[in-house]
Amino acid sequence: MKKYIIIAVLALITFRVDAQDGSTIFVNYLPSLPLGGTADFTDEISPRGVDFEVQHFLNEDLSVGFNIGWTLFRQKISGETFYYKDLTITGTQFRYTNIVPLTLNVKKYFMANGDYVPYVGVGIGTSYAEQRNEIGVFELEDDKWQFHMAPEIGMLYDLNYKSYLSVKLKYNYSVKAGSFPSMSYLSLGLGIGLK
């Protein structure tokens, strides 16, 4: 049911929300490769990710916007012994890392003849990260809001006068907060934009 609601809402958006003057709305599928502190906890490539973005074009080759994303990494570790405080524990661990970045971003486009428009961009903001380890009927959990930055390179394909196809490579980095480790991961974005 939930999925039909999401599809219905998005369908409505495509028909009703013709982006405002100079604005484009993007939605990207976002598989990701965990790195650094993220990979220390969950080191498997994640097919579970998405982001939504609104870009407002200040002129032909510069835009500013807002991006919200969600990526879930998970990993199952069987039969490994680990230590927690003064306990030695052996069991199957089900680990999850959820990261939800919220950033303001700016993009510079390199206009050329043809339908392909390469760009570079950077986003700065915050991200909510949660690490959860489920072991037996127990759970270890920690979460934090972190300072987040995300440089990216990408390419838009001018599909028609109302839409783009989009491909991008985005590096996400959240700064260590207290005892919560820094998070980093590399995302491949495949999506579409509505002008």
Partner 1 sequence: MRNFLKLMFFLLPVLLMIYSCHPEFSATIDELDLAITKYDEDQNFDELQTFYLPDTIIYITDDENSFAANVNHTHEEHILSEVRQNLLDLGWTEVQEPTNGEIDSDVSIMVSVLETDISFYYYYWWDYWYWYPWDWWFPGYPGYPWYPIWPGYPTYPSGGYTVGTVIIDMVNMDEVAMPANDDTSIKLPIVWSGFVNGILAGSDQNLQSRLTKQISQVFEQSPYLQN
Binding site for partner 1 (CB under 8 A): 3, 6-7, 10-11, 14-15, 27-30, 47-50, 72, 74, 76, 78, 81, 84-92, 94, 96, 134-142, 159-160, 162-163, 165, 190-192, 194
Q: What is the smallest separation between the CB atom of 189 and partner 1, expressed in angstroms?
A: 9
Tokens in use for 119? Answer: 């760009």
Q: What is the smallest separation between the CB atom of 55 and partner 1, expressed in angstroms?
A: 15
Nearest to 44 by CA among 55, 52, 53, 35: 35
Strand, helix or coil for residue 182: coil
Nearer to partner 1 by C-beta: 60 or 141? 141
Q: What is the smallest separation between the CB atom of 33 and partner 1, expressed in angstroms?
A: 15
Nearer to partner 1 by C-beta: 46 or 63? 46
Nearer to partner 1 by C-beta: 98 or 182? 98
Cα–chain center distance at 52: 9
Q: What is the smallest separation between the CB atom of 106 and partner 1, expressed in angstroms?
A: 23
Cα distance between residue 47 and residue 13, in whole Å:
24
Q: What is the smallest separation between the CB atom of 136 and partner 1, expressed in angstroms?
A: 4
Cβ 121 vs Cβ 108: under 8 Å:
yes
Cα–chain center distance at 194: 19
Cα distance between residue 194 and residue 162, in whole Å:
6
Nearer to partner 1 by C-beta: 96 or 128? 96
Tokens in use for 124? Answer: 């700065």
- Which phi and psi (to 5°) does residue 38 adopt? -70, -45
Nearer to partner 1 by C-beta: 12 or 62? 12
